[in-house]
């Protein structure tokens, strides 16, 4: 047995105590209505990376492995995982007695079919690049065989970005995004889905909770459906979400606007639930184009920025300052490169500008209004740059256009504004891929990334020891910040709210509907 295996076995044991009892619904029943801010297009989890799909779908589906409350990998549909000494085989023993929402018992043939579909249409199928194949030696065993040893494979496999959800084998050949009647093993099953309006789920009475735990944790743990039904209502207008929460039509909502909070806090029927570290707001330079191809110029930009001002405008006051690419509550967090962050020194910026030979050419800030935080952060950055004599100009397009322009370094932009949410939560490896070849976000000349940065990236992926991989991450972060390959501004807090009689609703990466109940 290796360490990874031991850790995966021990985690649930550590979560349990001798006299602890698994969660039992204090009260069952009720129709819970959640106000979701963004529309969903599909519930085909394998082929969608949108948060709006995941919010709903991950109450329906489950995976072999997932992440706990602190984003550590844990087992979900498997009860045991063994890694071979040569690191080329992973053997999963499946939990017994699990049935799909259609009543069919789950076996390893279903897991095989799920992997077969994912490798064909999965949005993030590259996580299986190093996998030679998979098979099912018996109905309770699933085996993954690797082409090469990949120390980070379990981290990738347990990713919730676009998870390999387990579906019945008969759904193997459904084309991407055409899974209109999703069937999973989760605590809730689909009743109806009307894009643009709502999704209704109901309690799955045949659900088998994971008895290795006593409580839900992250996407996994001991889950129970206490509610009869859950309705995700699409309410894109923030004012309508606030109104719905106030009247009680909506029992919980996401993304409450800051200006509504003082009023809502006075209401004894409403609880405000801040979800810290929701995403990292940042800007990426275009290092193929002048003047941002000049390191001294990029350092001048870095030197002038006041991150409090930027984040305050971007997040409507709901933020925390944060160095680098991980959230402070994560084990992989490092403040390496902190001396480059939030310098706000105009004099130093002017000095660096003079050294860079900047001649007043336009500096184009490429942003969009689809995501107001991106627009607002660009607006404040523009003012700060103009204050030291940089000819900063905004180019405002819609989100798909800005992404397309960013993918081509010669489309006339210098800084691209975006946010990284899910990837930082998944860990350093998922995040730093944005800075790796090909198509690194800082758009290196001829798409050839910084060799030293790539060496650190390679170490992050291949070093066998986790400590060494973490050191490589720290090195890569420091380098990326010092060479100004991105400018992270800080972390967002997403403010959710719930009616006071809603219990057990704990903010997480998705609105988890298991272990939630009405007090009265």
Partner 1 sequence: MLAALLRRLFSAVPVLAIVSLITFGLIHMIPGDPAVAIAGLSATPEQISNIRRDLGLDQPVLGQLWRWYANLAHGDLGRSLMMGQPVLDVTLKRLPVTLALASYALVLTLLLGLGSGIVAALKQNTWVDQAAMVLAMVGISLPNFYLGLLMIILFAVELRWLPTGGYVPLSQDPLGWLATSTMPAISLALLQAGLLARITRSTMLEVLRQDYIRTANAKGLPRRLVVLKHALANALIPIVTVIGIVISLLISGSVVTESLFSIPGIGQLLTQAVLNRDYPMVQGGLLVTTALLVLINIGVDTCYALLDPRVRHDG
Which residues in this chain contact partner 1 in the complex, by CB under 8 A? 39, 41-42, 44, 47-51, 121, 123-126, 161-162, 175-180, 194-198, 233-237, 239-240, 243-244, 246-247, 249-250, 370-371, 397-405, 407, 418-423, 433-434, 438-439
Question: Cβ closer to partner 1: 170 or 370?
Answer: 370
Please spell the DSSP secondary structure of 385-427, one letter per residue: HHHTT--EEEEEE-HHHHHHHHTSTTSS-SEEEEEE-HHHHH-
Residue 424, CA atoms < 13 Å, CB-side half-sphere? 26
Nearest to 444 by CA among 399, 486, 394, 385: 486
Q: Measure CA 33 to chain center.
A: 24
* Sign of CA pseudo-dihedral 282, 288, 289, 291: positive
Q: How far is the CB of 201 from partner 1 (least distance, A)?
A: 16
Closer residue to partner 1 in complex, CB, 54/299: 54
Question: Collapsing DSSP states into helix, strand and coil, what is residue 243?
Answer: helix
Q: What is the residue whose two structure tokens read 């859950």?
A: 230
Query: Smaller CB distance to partner 1: residue 114 or 402?
Result: 402
- Residue 351 C-beta: closest distance to partner 1, Å: 35
Tokens of 407: 């993918």
Nearer to partner 1, 108 or 431 (CB): 431
Residue 86 neighbours by CB under 8 Å, 6+ apart: 149
Strand order of the β-sheet with 319-320 is 319-320, 487-492, 280-285, 415-420, 363-368, 392-397
Q: Which is nearer to partner 1, 54 or 101 (CB)?
A: 54
415-420 and 280-285 beta bridge pairing? antiparallel
Instruction: Break the chain down into helix, strand, coil percent, rounded to 5.
Output: 35, 20, 45
We find the least distance from the C-beta atom of residue 441 to partner 1, in angstroms, to be 9
Q: Smallest distance, Å, CB 160 to partner 1?
A: 12
Nearest-approach distance from CB 274 to partner 1, in angstroms: 20
**Minimum distance from CB of 36 to partner 1 (Å)?**
10
Residue of 514, 34, 28 lying closest to 249 (CA atoms):
34
- CA distances 489 to 173, 284, 486, 518, Å, are 43, 11, 9, 39
Q: Among residues 224, 78, 99, which one has the least CA distance to residue 168?
A: 99
* Closest CB 176 distance from partner 1, rounded Å: 6
Q: For residues 240 and 321, which CB has a smaller minimum distance to partner 1 in the complex?
A: 240
How deeply is 272 buried, as exposed, middle or buried, from its count of CB atoms within 10 A (0-12, 13-18, 19+)?
A: middle
For partner 1, which is the closer residue by CB, 299 or 443? 443
What's the min distance (Å) between Cβ of 118 and partner 1? 12
Contact 474, 235 (CB under 8 A): no
Beta carbon of residue 247, minimum distance to partner 1 (angstroms, whole number): 6
Nearer to partner 1, 199 or 301 (CB): 199
Q: Cβ closer to partner 1: 137 or 195?
A: 195
Q: Are 164 and 118 in contact (CB under 8 A)?
A: yes
The answer to whether 136 touches 108, Cβ cutoff 8 Å, is yes
Strands 31-36 and 229-234 turn out to be: parallel
Q: Which is nearer to partner 1, 97 or 196 (CB)?
A: 196
For helices 372-387 and 295-304, the axis angle rounded to 10 degrees is: 100
Minimum CB–partner distance for residue 96 and partner 1 (Å): 34
Taking the complex as a whole, the smallest distance from the CB of residue 500 to partner 1 amounts, in Å, to 17
Q: Closest CB to partner 1 among 48 and 486?
A: 48
At residue 80, φ and ψ (nearest 5 deg) are: -155, 145
Which CB, 373 or 504, lies closer to partner 1?
373
Q: How far is the CB of 12 from partner 1 (least distance, A)?
A: 30
């Amino acid at each position: 047995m290796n360490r990874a295996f031991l850790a995966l076995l021990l985690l649930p044991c550590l979560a349990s105590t001798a006299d602890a009892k698994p969660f039992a619904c204090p009260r069952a029943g009720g129709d819970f209505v959640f106000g979701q801010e963004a529309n969903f297009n599909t519930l085909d989890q394998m082929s969608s990376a949108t948060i709006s799909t995941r919010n709903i779908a991950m109450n329906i589906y489950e995976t072999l492995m997932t992440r706990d409350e602190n984003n550590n990998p844990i087992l979900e549909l498997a009860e045991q995982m063994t890694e071979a000494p040569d690191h080329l085989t992973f053997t999963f023993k499946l939990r017994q007695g699990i049935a799909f929402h259609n009543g069919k018992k789950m076996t390893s043939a279903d897991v095989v079919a799920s992997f077969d579909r994912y490798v064909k249409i999965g949005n993030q199928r590259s996580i299986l690049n190093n996998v030679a194949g998979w098979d099912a030696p018996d109905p309770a065993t699933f085996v993954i065989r690797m082409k090469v040893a990949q120390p980070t494979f379990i981290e990738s496999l347990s990713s919730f970005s676009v998870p390999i959800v387990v579906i019945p084998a008969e759904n193997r050949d459904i084309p991407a995004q055409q899974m209109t009647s999703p069937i999973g093993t989760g605590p809730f099953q689909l009743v109806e889905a009307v894009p643009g309006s709502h999704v209704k789920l109901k309690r799955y009475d045949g659900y088998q909770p994971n008895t290795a735990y006593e409580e839900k944790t992250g996407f996994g743990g001991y889950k129970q459906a206490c509610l009869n039904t859950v309705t995700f209502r699409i309410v894109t207008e923030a004012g309508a979400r606030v109104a719905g929460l106030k009247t009680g039509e909506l029992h919980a909502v996401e993304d409450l606007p800051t200006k509504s909070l003082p009023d809502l806090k006075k209401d004894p029927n409403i609880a405000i639930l801040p979800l810290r570290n929701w995403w990292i707001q940042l800007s990426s330079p275009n290092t193929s184009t002048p003047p941002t191809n000049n390191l001294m110029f990029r350092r001048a930009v870095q030197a002038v920025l006041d991150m409090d001002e930027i984040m305050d405008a971007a997040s409507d006051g709901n933020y925390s300052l944060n160095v680098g690419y991980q959230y402070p509550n994560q084990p992989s967090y490092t403040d390496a490169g902190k001396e480059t962050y939030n310098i706000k020194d105009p004099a130093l910026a002017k000095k660096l500008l003079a050294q860079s030979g900047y001649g007043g050419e336009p500096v184009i800030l490429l942003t969009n209004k689809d995501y107001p935080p991106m627009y607002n952060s660009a607006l404040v950055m523009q003012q700060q740059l103009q204050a030291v004599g940089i000819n900063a100009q905004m180019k405002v397009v819609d989100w798909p256009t800005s992404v397309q322009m960013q993918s081509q370094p010669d489309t006339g932009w210098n800084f691209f504004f975006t946010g990284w949410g899910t990837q930082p939560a998944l860990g350093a490896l998922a995040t730093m891929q944005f800075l790796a070849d090909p198509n690194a976000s800082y758009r290196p000349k001829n798409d050839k990334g910084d060799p030293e940065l790539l060496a650190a990236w390679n170490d992050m992926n291949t070093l066998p020891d986790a400590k060494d991989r973490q050191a490589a991450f720290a090195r890569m972060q420091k380098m990326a910040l010092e060479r100004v390959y991105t400018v992270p501004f800080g972390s967002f807090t997403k403010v959710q709210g719930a009616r006071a009689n809603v219990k057990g609703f704990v903010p997480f990466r998705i609105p988890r509907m298991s272990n939630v109940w009405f007090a009265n």
